[in-house]
A and B are shown apart, each in its own frame.
Chain A
């Protein structure tokens, strides 16, 4: 994609006005997508993203330029224009690259480009048929498939030369149930940092059937009540609460600007004592995993909170330096079009010791949130919100009728202290996380937890 000679020339040019550091991120990303609506292929698309981003850093100042004209002349021109914005005192004459060595977390068995497109369509149709077959109230289905094979080279003025190939694939399964006057949707989106062999080990019919069941269940549901109450959140995508309420506030970009309620709180108790939370980029084949981050730092397992005490932040090179912390293998970007910044990978609340049945049995009144939707947060205030896709009332220790339209809101710093039960059934679930460096694949996760006194916004 780029020769070492060209990379050296461009990097030297980028620091030609004395900046301390420059980095190249070169990318070639081959992508495929297929979308099936109501059992028919609506569109199939594929193509190549290719380009290069050049980052120059001096003290607190950064320049980022990118292009998909990869000719050496153009890269040199952009690098020298970028260099003009930052003058410094560092002088660099040459760069000796040494290749970063690391073990891959997972080796894909079946590359996306070796699979017949008709096989993908057949798989999607199987899912669609399973959803329709679940119940005649299912009136629409939407199935999406994507794969990508992203090859990157990351090189910098410190002599780093890192190469990586990231193969990912994901399907999106939605089923819509209608009863004439109204419609409800069930959705799942499993994916992995794997090749097409990923689909050998998941049951698409079962996933589509579950989406259909969820849609049909919510069709008959009454509106969720509003007010403060206990909420039991089931495992898997329930972990979105930690991702939004806390995870974003532990990213170094928010910490370095003191734009997080968790800034300056390392070593302090920020959550209930039984809560341990981890960001682990090294889970083999997991959707949110990375071999190396987008600055060429090996991924690792980072303990964020241990027994309620804040242990660390997720840190990238630039913001890490501002707060005096080393990179944690957390620097990510959607593509060469984004400057990398600290982000989450697979983030989860570790398993506790409670039993799921006990948590429910011990709850007098509240909501049981079986499946969560997405959410968002303002890290500065810690105000978060997220949606519940499938919920039930809980009365006297029993799960009762389904309710719909619930949104949960709160402040991250408060909700962490209000988690009072943590079960032992940890599971992860896949999602996309959007922030300043674009949309990146992540997993959220948790065992079943109970949060006391959280604001539930319903329509009653």
Chain B
């Protein structure tokens, strides 16, 4: 799309003339194609190509940024704008441009066979998933089934000699359905994300969505109180994803995470181990280097309840006098370098979900939460979320529960984990098995 080499040379040359020291060009390209179906017919086709570049450079020791989705742009204005942005940035907020790591692990994140998937095959997959969902139960109505595939590539080059590139592809298949009975409607969806679409059984995906919707019909609230709950793998992954930034050193430095000075301390139940692993084959957030060119590697963040490391980029690592953990990522090519986890997951336990349910005896099995973007306070750790699920009575999952809230504090919850099942599942980049927790406040009747 763009002649990157020419762009790089022009940018770096002009930047040096205008007084920039180290500079970087970050370039990214994406393409995407999808089809969605409704009632047995194709409804929407989408196709896209997009991308752009971001220039950043050190000017008087301060980092200035400028991005553009087009190369049809005056290079002088790129440099001048980056300079204006550098000028107002505080000097003690030091970002680095680095020569990168000595070596990089390779990880398989590109599946060539995915490129060969035709629009007709995608359409057939979506139709099959929808059909299976509708055939599962008469109470099911369709909402949407979609298949999409995409490719993205990144390229980083800087004046310290770093030059790296990587490309990945992925597929996602989703089925959304509604179950309806006596004025009661439940809509549920099931999602597959990964680049090993060969492993996907579209019919099973559709049936799972339909099963979830039908099972949730007729839910009723329970009495308010404090109780034992099992958070399903999806729910625990949702909550963990929401509080993830508390493990970023950057957030600790700014005072937005209370994990300050907790290194090496026990902050969670003995049975909890949480890992950040960018080297999982085909993983949603797998990569061999971060946006600063630091080699990606796997590490335990919490090990048997003890906080082992925070996640670092170059800036926060320099502040703590440690090495970057390879977690310096941009949120898209336009963004400044921030911190991000890669594939972040709770290690599975050695009991089956059924065993954990049996042990729980009485309580709730929570299968859905809503309102994480508003009902969870990342800084205090407090959360109160709309929830759905099932009663657990005499060690068995029984009737559906709806119109309740679950409340607690993230940090307390980590300590109150009593069991971890073996059903680890990834939801995009966050993974978790189902987790049993005591002392969760349930709001209902």
Within 8 A of B (CB), among A227-278: 227-228, 257-259, 261
Query: Can you pick out 21 interface pairs between chain A and chain B where the beta carbons lie within 8 Å of each other?
Result: A37-B254, A44-B65, A45-B334, A45-B336, A46-B85, A47-B81, A48-B69, A66-B49, A85-B42, A117-B88, A118-B87, A185-B380, A226-B407, A261-B185, A373-B374, A375-B371, A405-B383, A409-B403, A455-B403, A456-B443, A457-B385
- Shortest C-beta distance, B99 to chain A (Å), equals 23
Residues of chain A within 8 A of B406, CB atoms compared: 457
Within 8 A of B (CB), among A282-312: none
* A40 adjacent to B403 (CB under 8 Å): no
Most buried by B among A375, A376, A383: A383
Segment of A6-14, A67-75, A101-109 engaged in the interface with chain B: A67-75
Whether, in the assembled complex, B68 has its beta carbon less than 8 Å from a beta carbon of chain A, the answer is: yes
Residue-wise, chain B 362-406 has the 8 Å CB interface mask toward A (1 for contact) of 000000001101110101101111100000000000000011111
Within 8 A of A (CB), among B105-143: 119, 141, 143
Residues of chain B within 8 A of A228, CB atoms compared: 445
* B67 adjacent to A66 (CB under 8 Å): no
* A458 adjacent to B384 (CB under 8 Å): yes
Segment of B50-58, B153-161, B339-347, B353-361 engaged in the interface with chain A: B50-58
How many angstroms between the C-alpha atoms of A458 and B65 in the bound complex?
A: 43
Whether, in the assembled complex, B17 has its beta carbon less than 8 Å from a beta carbon of chain A, the answer is: no
Closest to A38 in B: B254
When the two chains form the complex, which single residue of A78, A411, A460 contacts B47, counting CB atoms closer than 8 Å? A78
Whether, in the assembled complex, A182 has its beta carbon less than 8 Å from a beta carbon of chain B, the answer is: yes
Take A64-B45, A82-B45, A380-B187 as given contacts and tell me if A407 and B384 are in contact as well, using a CB distance cutoff of 8 Å: yes
Residues of chain B within 8 A of A46, CB atoms compared: 65-67, 81, 84-85
How many angstroms between the C-alpha atoms of A294 and B63 in the bound complex?
A: 36
* A48 adjacent to B90 (CB under 8 Å): no
* B44 adjacent to A457 (CB under 8 Å): no
How many angstroms between the C-alpha atoms of A312 and B162 in the bound complex?
A: 58
How many angstroms between the C-alpha atoms of A378 and B177 in the bound complex?
A: 12
When the two chains form the complex, which single residue of A45, A85, A176, A386 contacts B255, counting CB atoms closer than 8 Å? A176
Take A67-B50, A226-B407 as given contacts and tell me if A459 and B384 are in contact as well, using a CB distance cutoff of 8 Å: yes
Q: Chain B: how many interface residues by the 8 Å CB criterion? A: 78
Within 8 A of B (CB), among A43-92: 43-51, 60-70, 78, 81-82, 85-86
- Shortest C-beta distance, A165 to chain B (Å), equals 18
When the two chains form the complex, which single residue of A41, A61, A460 contacts B42, counting CB atoms closer than 8 Å? A61
Take A140-B255, A406-B384 as given contacts and tell me if A386 and B371 are in contact as well, using a CB distance cutoff of 8 Å: yes
* A407 adjacent to B379 (CB under 8 Å): no
Whether, in the assembled complex, B442 has its beta carbon less than 8 Å from a beta carbon of chain A, the answer is: yes
When the two chains form the complex, which single residue of A63, A384, A456 contacts B45, counting CB atoms closer than 8 Å? A63
How many angstroms between the C-alpha atoms of A437 and B279 in the bound complex?
A: 33
- Shortest C-beta distance, A117 to chain B (Å), equals 5
* A383 adjacent to B255 (CB under 8 Å): no
Majority secondary structure of chain A interface residues (helix, strand, loop or mixed): strand
How many angstroms between the C-alpha atoms of A185 and B336 in the bound complex?
A: 24
Take A226-B442, A387-B375 as given contacts and tell me if A44 and B88 are in contact as well, using a CB distance cutoff of 8 Å: yes
* B47 adjacent to A65 (CB under 8 Å): yes
Whether, in the assembled complex, B43 has its beta carbon less than 8 Å from a beta carbon of chain A, the answer is: yes
Whether, in the assembled complex, B96 has its beta carbon less than 8 Å from a beta carbon of chain A, the answer is: no
How many angstroms between the C-alpha atoms of A227 and B70 in the bound complex?
A: 54
- Shortest C-beta distance, B211 to chain A (Å), equals 17
Could you say which interface size class chain A belongs to? 35 or more
Whether, in the assembled complex, A214 has its beta carbon less than 8 Å from a beta carbon of chain B, the answer is: no
Whether, in the assembled complex, A154 has its beta carbon less than 8 Å from a beta carbon of chain B, the answer is: no
Residues of chain A within 8 A of B42, CB atoms compared: 61, 85
How many angstroms between the C-alpha atoms of A378 and B179 in the bound complex?
A: 13
Whether, in the assembled complex, A337 has its beta carbon less than 8 Å from a beta carbon of chain B, the answer is: yes
How many angstroms between the C-alpha atoms of A60 and B41 in the bound complex?
A: 9
Residues of chain A within 8 A of B442, CB atoms compared: 226
Whether, in the assembled complex, B178 has its beta carbon less than 8 Å from a beta carbon of chain A, the answer is: yes
Closest to A47 in B: B67
Q: Which residues of A contact B (CB under 8 A)?
A: 34, 37-38, 40-51, 60-70, 78, 81-82, 85-86, 117-118, 120-121, 139-140, 176, 178, 182-185, 223-224, 226-228, 257-259, 261, 337, 339, 373-376, 378, 380-387, 404-407, 409-411, 455-460
Closest to B142 in A: A257
Q: Which residues of B contact A (CB under 8 A)?
A: 1, 38, 41-52, 54, 63-70, 72-73, 81, 84-90, 92-93, 119, 141, 143, 178, 184-187, 221, 224, 254-256, 258, 334-336, 370-371, 373-375, 377, 379-380, 382-386, 402-409, 441-445
* A385 adjacent to B370 (CB under 8 Å): yes
Majority secondary structure of chain B interface residues (helix, strand, loop or mixed): strand
When the two chains form the complex, which single residue of B51, B377, B441 contacts A226, counting CB atoms closer than 8 Å? B441
How many angstroms between the C-alpha atoms of A81 and B48 in the bound complex?
A: 11
How many angstroms between the C-alpha atoms of A339 and B90 in the bound complex?
A: 40
- Shortest C-beta distance, B401 to chain A (Å), equals 13
Take A139-B255, A405-B407 as given contacts and tell me if A378 and B334 are in contact as well, using a CB distance cutoff of 8 Å: no
* A62 adjacent to B405 (CB under 8 Å): no
How many angstroms between the C-alpha atoms of A51 and B52 in the bound complex?
A: 11
- Shortest C-beta distance, B278 to chain A (Å), equals 24
- Shortest C-beta distance, A310 to chain B (Å), equals 17
Take A226-B224, A458-B441 as given contacts and tell me if A257 and B38 are in contact as well, using a CB distance cutoff of 8 Å: yes
How many angstroms between the C-alpha atoms of A51 and B48 in the bound complex?
A: 11
When the two chains form the complex, which single residue of B46, B50, B90, B404 contacts A68, counting CB atoms closer than 8 Å? B50
* B379 adjacent to A405 (CB under 8 Å): no
Closest to A404 in B: B382
- Shortest C-beta distance, A33 to chain B (Å), equals 9
Closest to A459 in B: B407
* A226 adjacent to B84 (CB under 8 Å): no
* B441 adjacent to A407 (CB under 8 Å): no
Per CB-CB distance, the 8 closest pairs between chain A and chain B, nearest first, are A457-B405, A226-B443, A457-B443, A47-B67, A385-B386, A374-B374, A380-B187, A385-B371
Residues of chain A within 8 A of B379, CB atoms compared: 176, 183-185
* A43 adjacent to B408 (CB under 8 Å): no
Residues of chain B within 8 A of A44, CB atoms compared: 64-65, 84-86, 88-89
* A374 adjacent to B373 (CB under 8 Å): yes
Residues of chain B within 8 A of A82, CB atoms compared: 45, 47
* A339 adjacent to B443 (CB under 8 Å): no
Residues of chain A within 8 A of B380, CB atoms compared: 182-185
How many angstroms between the C-alpha atoms of A402 and B210 in the bound complex?
A: 43
